Structures are given as C-alpha cells and as structure tokens.
Amino acid sequence: MCGRYQLEDDWSDFPEFHVPEEFLPNDDVRPTEAVPIVRLDANGQWIGEMRRWGFLRTWPGPSGKWVKKQLINAVGEELQTKRSFKAAFGRSHCLVPMSAWYEWPVIEGKKTRVRIGLKGRKMFGVAGLYETSKHPDTGEPVATFTVVTVPPNEILGSAHDRAPLVLLDRDYQGWLEAGPTSQSLITSHPDNDAFFVETPGRLAER
C-alpha cells in the first residue's frame, strides 16, 4: 500500500507540464494533504493541479452514527467492480508524481521505515484516480485523488504485500486516457532491479 510519500522539487525526470503555483516540496506527504496530480483537460492536454489525498466517504454504522473514511488507496484488481472507484476508473485517471514512498516492514523484530523509489529518478508517475468528493461535515465539494495499488514484485514484496502502481513512462498517456487498454496496465512492475529500498544505515544504489 502507500500511506506516506516524498515529493521533491526536481521535475526534470517527469514529462513537462505546468506545476501548480501552490506546490511546495514535501518529504512526508500524508493523507488529507493537497499535492499535485496530473490529468488531461478537455482538450486532451496534460495539466497539473492540487488535490487532496483520499476519496471521502460516509455511510451509516451499526450504532446509527455515520462512519467517515478516507480512501487513500484503491485496489487495482477491484476498480471495475468496487462501487467506491468504479465511476472514477471509467473516466477520471490521473498520475500521482512521487520521488519515493515509505513502508514500515518488520526488520529484526522492529517496525522500520523504509524509503522506496526508482533508481536514477528524481520523479516518477504512479497511477491514480480523481474525483470531486463531498465533504462529510459541510457537504461542500472537495477535489480529491486516490493511489492505485497492485501486488508487489519480488523486491517490493519485502516491504509490503501491496505496492503503488508505478507506471512505465511509455504508459503514462495510455493510463490518462482511461481507455479500454488501461486495465492491462494494472499489474506488478516487471523490473525488480528498477527499484531501491533504503533502510536506516543502509542506502541502496540510486
């Protein structure tokens, strides 16, 4: 899964688009924070905009009180059937720029934060979905996004049993267009050697 990530200020490895003026680098992006995503505008051009991380949902709980939840991740294998994501998967795809993400596997009996990213890259694109959610308290519209996850490849599986869907550069446009072929992109990353996994005291090659 992906619950925290890093977003630096070096966009040189990412296809050019207008970076929102509100953007600030963040070494520890957390759910509910507004960060840049990339989507297509009405003319099919790439645009960057700030959106809040996590689809907002409410439903009545067993006690009668409303349950509020933020859906920060979407299981890739369920996008066509899961009610919370089906509509967005059909029409509202985005890229979530990241510099790295964090996981907390148990290492030598202790939960340890590890930093994961692509070797030689300052920025890469993760598959996401976007929508306009309804704020559970005010009912006001909120621009939100969620990160698509898939089963990990071998190296990523050492950190967690889910991983963000890191897209190959050549697949960015296909994902954004949200066409019939986008389902074929929902798969584990094919290259174990593309990633570094950093733990405290041991920095992998980048």
Per-residue confidence (pLDDT) for residue 15, from 0 to 100: 73
Pick from 10, 22, 84, 9: which is nearest to 49 by CA?
22
Among 100, 109, 106, 111, smallest CA distance to 197 is for 100
What is the architecture of the domain spanning 5-101+119-140+149-191? Answer: Alpha-Beta Complex (3.90)
Order the strands of the 195-198 sheet from edge to edge.
Answer: 26-29, 5-7, 100-103, 114-118, 195-198
User: Distance (Å, rounded) from C-alpha 161 to C-alpha 36?
Assistant: 26
Place of tokens 């990213």: 117
Strand partners, 56: 70
pLDDT of residue 203: 40
Residue 128 in contact with residue 145, Cβ under 8 Å? yes
**Please, what are the averages of pLDDT over each run of 10 residues along the chain (206 residues)?**
90 81 94 96 94 87 70 96 95 97 90 94 96 87 97 93 95 95 94 90 42
What is the DSSP pairing of strand 124-134 with strand 141-150? antiparallel
